[in-house]
Amino acid sequence: MKDAETKRPVYLSDKELGYIEHILCHFTDYMGGDDRPDHGWGRLKDYRNIDEADKYFIMMMAGRLRRIYRGWREKRQGNG
């Protein structure tokens, strides 16, 4: 199996999964050229205005996912 096809287990809470789904849904709308204000970039910009607790939650989740991915990448490259 190629590295790009390797599946990795990542455990997410319902709240984390909800944020990831919402962000990816609107990101793919944006990628597809959906410029309606209630889709794509128009919705992603709303994340600037969420309360500090939710911003912190999302930033911590993103950091955790980034560290997981970097750990796997370093092991694959022989640096871990």
**How far are the Cα atoms of 4, 11, 18, 22 from residue 32, in angstroms, in the given order?**
23, 29, 21, 15
Enumerate the H helices of 3-77 as residue ranges: 14-31, 41-44, 52-76
pLDDT digits (tens, 9 = 90+) for 15-35: 999 999 999 999 999 999 999
pLDDT digits (tens, 9 = 90+) for 23-70: 999 999 999 999 999 999 999 999 999 999 999 999 999 999 999 999
Break the chain into its structural domains and give their ranges. Answer: 13-49, 51-80
Q: Which residue has the tokens 């709240």?
A: 15
Q: What residue type is assigned to position 24 of the chain? A: L
CA atoms within 13 A on the CB side of 9: 1
